[in-house]
């Protein structure tokens, strides 16, 4: 009950001296607002980076075939000479097959949930009488096509039957249809289109038209008008007259998987099982997860450093609280003497002024939090247009706790000074 009365007395004191209270709280408000705004921007940027990296495949593991490192031999003169194969071309036996991939996924069941398969056939021409369109033909499996997140304007994407039966079906961009077919997207569906690649003619049934977004394309240069045409992965190998084989692909990991450990395990397993006796090539795995962790850690460190610098104003605010509490005690000397003469204990007097200092800091902290959230909300899109606003909940609780700590720390000395006053001297004070 006494604590509640002290809080009410503190709030009454704030209302009675509004201007002085606001000026006293100004350092607390600026410090808390700065810290919250910086933490908001930092958290939003970190979440945005993690989201963008995840969309780019940061949680995937890239499995590729590379040439083995040459052995080095030192001569008597100290010079180093390379021994072993150099710039070898991959042969059919050096690639990973579809059966090999099934075995890898099965071996790491529960940690790998899928494989992103792609077989690039290169630049081609979509021909329709006198009209042409530049395209890049790419064979993809269902999982990789889903990963592309195509916006379909007409038709459908490939079915499992299309993939298994190596059907001659194709997905074209709206730009390719506009340039070569010159019909509506619905009318284009079902047409047999002709693709010319290396002076050979390939015919496919158009089953879908997707919206081409050049902002997400690595080929979106002003001089490059080509768009990607998708065909089933097995169809692409059939058209190229090669068996299903891969020298580079991505493995999709389960969300709970420790990617760094899995990278090492997969690389070791593939090399022992498939490349133990291969003198020229070996498997290599890597993931962008470590790069993402480094980037987010760097952002967090920068945000923390700036927050610490901004928090210096909290120290200034705390000194201001101590100063105003000393002035308040000086003004209320007779009140303190009267309370002690009526039997108030030193602990009660001390608690009264500590509570006043805490209330002063909490009110200032609350105002600072509100200002900081608003500033962070409007500043986040200015720093990164794609970043979404994230409320730093931990930062808010930390700020409230810090405000209380500042109130206790800087309020204790004035409160203790008031508690130790001699009641006779206090009553005589004019």
Task: Tell me the domain boundaries of the chain.
Answer: 2-53+292-428, 92-287
Task: Report yes or no: 44 and 380 within 8 Å, Cβ to Cβ.
Answer: yes
Phi, psi of 325 (to 5 degrees): -70, -40
Kind of pairing between the strands at 245-246 and 71-74 = unpaired
Give the C-alpha distances (Å, rounded to integers) separating 3 from 63, 406, 412.
Answer: 65, 18, 16
What pLDDT is recorded for position 6? 65
User: What are residue 206's DSSP bridge partners?
Assistant: 170
Q: Report the length, in residues, of the chain.
A: 430
**Measured between alpha carbons, how far is 29 from 366 in angstroms, rounded to an integer?**
8
Task: For 166-192, give one letter per residue: b (16+ CB within 10 A) or e.
Answer: bbbbbbbbbbbbbbbbeeebeebbeee
Nearest to 274 by CA among 111, 61, 102, 140: 102
What pLDDT is recorded for position 44? 78
End-to-end CA distance of the chain: 32
- Count other C-beta atoms under 10 Å from residue 374's C-beta: 14
Q: What is the pLDDT along the chain (430 residues), one digit of tens a residue?
A: 466 676 776 677 667 677 777 877 887 888 888 888 888 887 777 777 666 655 555 678 889 999 886 554 444 444 444 444 455 788 888 999 989 999 999 999 888 888 999 999 989 999 998 899 999 999 999 988 888 889 999 999 999 899 999 999 999 999 999 999 999 999 999 999 999 999 999 999 999 999 998 765 544 444 457 899 999 999 999 999 999 999 988 888 887 778 888 889 999 999 999 998 888 899 998 887 766 677 677 777 777 777 777 667 677 777 777 877 777 777 677 777 777 777 777 777 777 778 888 888 888 888 888 998 898 888 888 777 767 777 778 777 877 787 778 777 877 777 777 777 766 655 555 5
**Measured between alpha carbons, how far is 158 from 181 in angstroms, rounded to an integer?**
21
What pLDDT is recorded for position 229? 96
What pLDDT is recorded for position 162? 93
What pLDDT is recorded for position 427? 59
What pLDDT is recorded for position 74? 45
**Measured between alpha carbons, how far is 351 from 412 in angstroms, rounded to an integer?**
9
- Strands across the sheet with 112-116, in order? 112-116, 248-253, 60-67, 281-287
What pLDDT is recorded for position 34? 83
Is the pTM higher than 0.85? The answer reads no
Task: For 330-344, give one letter per residue: b (16+ CB within 10 A) or e.
Answer: eebbeebbebbeeee
What pLDDT is recorded for position 28? 81
- Count other C-beta atoms under 10 Å from residue 6's C-beta: 19
């Amino acid at each position: 009950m006494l604590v509640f009365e002290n809080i009410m007395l503190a709030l009454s004191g704030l209302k009675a001296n509004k201007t002085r209270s606001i000026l006293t709280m100004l350092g607390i408000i600026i410090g808390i607002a700065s810290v919250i705004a910086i933490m908001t921007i930092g958290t939003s940027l970190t979440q945005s980076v993690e989201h963008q990296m995840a969309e780019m495949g940061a949680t995937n593991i890239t499995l590729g075939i590379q040439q083995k490192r040459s052995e080095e031999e030192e001569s008597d003169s100290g010079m180093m000479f390379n021994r072993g194969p150099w710039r070898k071309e991959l042969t059919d036996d050096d690639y990973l097959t579809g059966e090999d991939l099934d075995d890898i996924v099965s071996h790491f069941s529960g940690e790998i949930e899928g494989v992103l398969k792609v077989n690039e056939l290169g630049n081609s021409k979509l021909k329709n009488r006198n009209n042409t369109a530049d395209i890049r033909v790419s064979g993809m499996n269902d999982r990789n096509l889903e990963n592309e997140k195509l916006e379909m304007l007409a038709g459908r994407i490939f079915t499992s039957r299309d993939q298994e039966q190596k059907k001659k079906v194709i997905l074209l961009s709206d730009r390719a249809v506009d340039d070569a077919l010159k019909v509506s997207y619905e009318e284009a569906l079902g047409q047999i289109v002709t693709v010319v690649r290396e002076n050979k003619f390939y015919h496919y049934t158009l089953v879908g038209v997707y919206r081409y977004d050049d902002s997400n394309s690595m080929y979106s240069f002003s001089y490059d008008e080509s768009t990607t045409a998708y065909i089933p992965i097995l169809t692409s190998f059939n058209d190229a007259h090669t068996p299903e084989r891969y020298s580079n692909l991505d493995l999709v990991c389960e969300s709970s998987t420790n990617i760094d450990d899995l990278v090492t395990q997969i690389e070791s397993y593939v090399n022992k099982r498939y490349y133990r006796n291969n003198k020229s090539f070996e498997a290599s795995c890597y993931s962008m997860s470590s790069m993402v962790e480094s980037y987010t850690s760097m952002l967090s460190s920068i945000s923390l450093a700036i927050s610490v610098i901004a928090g210096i104003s909290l120290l200034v605010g705390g000194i201001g609280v101590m100063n105003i509490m000393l002035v308040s005690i000086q003004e209320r000397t007779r009140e303190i003497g009267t309370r002690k003469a009526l039997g108030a204990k030193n602990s009660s007097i001390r608690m009264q002024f500590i509570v006043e200092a805490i209330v002063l800091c909490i009110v200032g902290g609350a105002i600072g939090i509100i200002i900081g959230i608003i500033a962070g909300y409007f500043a986040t899109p200015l720093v990164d247009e794609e970043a979404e606003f994230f409320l730093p909940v931990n930062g808010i609780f930390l700020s409230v706790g810090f405000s209380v700590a500042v109130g206790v720390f800087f309020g204790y000395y004035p409160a203790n000074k008031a508690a130790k006053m001699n009641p006779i001297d206090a009553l005589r004070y004019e």
